[in-house]
Structure 1
Amino acid sequence: MKMIKIGDIVEVTITGVQPYGAFATLSNHLTGLIHISEISEGFVKDIENFVHKGEKVRVKVIDIDNATNQAKLSLKAIDSKSKRRERRLSYKNQRKQIRETPKGFEPLKEMLPIWITEELMKLEEKIHD
């Protein structure tokens, strides 16, 4: 079995999620923590928006305490580039799927005065009730 070292990118299984981070198991009898600050480059309000218990994710090993067999792990160290790439590809695919109709915005332009009138009538009804 390959020895895990600092800087390695490994697959882990999330074993628990707390407000401050996610716990994971690695091979070689190591356990680890992905601290909330290592989940994403952006603000993380809820860790479960990023990982769930039982999920397998790839992380970077940023430190290992051999005395306790615990590792500090980072999701953001490897995820930011791949996530940006996925979003870019997804955006390109969405753009290909969206086809403009020959009428463009004309149907909206035609309907807008009708919708405004309908909403104004509803407001007047509420005032008179």
Structure 2
Amino acid sequence: MTLQIGSVLEGTVVNITNFGAFVELSGKTGLVHISEISDTYVKDIRQHLKEKDKVKVKVIGIDNDGKISLSIRQANPQKKTNKPVEIDWDYERKKVTALSFEERLAKFLKDSEEKFQDIKKNQESKRSGGYARR
């Protein structure tokens, strides 16, 4: 059987490295890069795969040297909804403009006072922290 780009086959994991897993397909071995293991971030491949696991892979590339690039992620597509997510971009602006001028001014003064107190405490702790001035 000849391997073709785009074909989905079942193979066996024969070796696992830090950067990917080698999968044997009908006598030939290809590499599933760590980025092609799952749709989520993969820190340790060994949490997703073990040697001798049977996996479904998609052939995503074959270079001139005969190296085969495989993908588990693309062989098992997740069901995606076609419904777009609606985002209310003006939500924060609406929330702020719902307050009157006096309420916004009071909120600003309160936030400013809190920040000023934090800065003052930080400077005092540096002065009394055992550092001698010369």
Considering the TM-score relative to the shorter chain, is it more than 0.5?
A: yes
- The TM-score range, normalised by the shorter chain, is 0.5 to 0.7
Q: 1:54 aligns with which of 52, 55, 59?
A: 52
Cα RMSD, aligned residues only: 1.8
Corresponding position: 1:81 with 2:81 = no
- For 2:78, the aligned partner's letter is K
Q: Which runs of 4+ in 1 moved over 3 A?
A: none
Distance in 1 between residues matched to 2:78 and 2:28, nearest whole Å: 26
Q: Which residue of 2 aligns with 1:64?
A: 62
Tell me how far 1:22 sits from its aligned partner. Answer: 0.3
Alpha-carbon contact 1:14-1:24 (below 8 Å) kept: yes
Greater share of helix:
1
Structure 1 length as normaliser, TM-score?
A: 0.56
Structure 2 length as normaliser, TM-score?
A: 0.54
Q: Which residue of 1 aligns with 2:19?
A: 20
Give CA deviations for 1:57-99 in whole Å, capped at 9, x if unaligned.
000000113533x2100011022427x9xxxxxxxxxxxxxxx
Identical-pair percentage: 41
Alpha-carbon contact 1:32-1:71 (below 8 Å) kept: yes
Corresponding position: 1:34 with 2:32 = yes
Aligned residues: 80
Distance in 2 between residues matched to 1:60 and 1:72, nearest whole Å: 9
Tell me how far 1:50 sits from its aligned partner. Answer: 1.3
Runs of at least 5 residues in structure 1 that lack an aligned partner in the other structure = 85-129
Please say which structure displays the higher CA radius of gyration.
2
